[in-house]
Amino acid sequence: MNGNTGSGSGTRTDGRVERGNQTRRLVLGRTMDIASVEGLEGLSLGRIATELKLSKSGVFALFGSKEELQLATVRAAVAVFAERVVAPLNDLPPGVRRVRELCRSWLTYSSERVFAGGCFFYAVSAEFDARTGPVHDAVAGTHRDWTAYMERTLREARGAGELAGDADVEQLAFEVIALMEAANAQSVLLDDSGVYARAERGITARLLASATERGREALAGPA
């Protein structure tokens, strides 16, 4: 056998894989925006193929079914959320400022329309909250993970001595997430960007109400 055959075959295979990855990224970029506006039920292999001028058989080969396309879209949105909301806070030490900056990061993610319809997860949660099945489970899992992350961030602030020892982090997480989601919903529905500043004021007030003196000093420091 010619020694170059394997190398050539590998190059062709790598090229096909990379083209497939590029197509996958292209498709998921579009499906995330569609789902944030119309919901995950607005997705179909045929629609995506037509809109992006791709072959339906090629899109089907990548995703296999509408459900897998929906699940892949949720996973892609999680990666975008982690990059835009969570990763920028990695260098901040535990404390109430980290909590506030995490909330600001979320509000910026919504207000800058990282996804066309505002918060991707708020949109698809309303769509799948009363359903069952793998897509519901995936969407519910993202909500649980985000809530758990917020609770952990608050618990770390309490451990750093910046929230009162008896602060109810589960309740506090529920309230600050509710304020952020309300801002997202009203901004999208009413085209009112002023709600983000009101949400931030409400979040800061809740943190101050539960903060120790050290925590209040941290919140009063440079923004």
Stated as kind and residue range, the H or E segment containing 111 is helix 96-111
Buried b (16+ CB within 10 A) or exposed e, 158-195: bebebbeeebebeebbeebbebbbebbbbbbeeeeeeb
Specify the pTM: 0.88
Catalogue all structural domains in the chain, each as residue range(s) with its CATH number: 3-220 (1.10.357.10)
CA dist 70 and 217 (Å) reads 45
Interacting residues of 131 by C-beta distance below 8 A, sequence separation 6+? none
Torsional sign, CA 93, 96, 100, 102: positive
pLDDT in tens, the chain (223 residues): 455 555 666 666 677 667 778 999 999 999 999 999 999 999 999 999 999 999 989 899 999 999 999 999 999 999 999 999 999 999 999 999 999 999 999 999 999 999 999 999 999 999 999 999 999 999 999 999 999 999 999 999 999 999 999 999 999 999 999 999 999 999 999 999 999 999 999 999 999 999 999 999 999 976 6
Tell me which amino acid residue 65 is: S
What are the CA-CA distances from residue 21 to residues 14, 17, 27, 180 (Å)? 10, 6, 10, 34
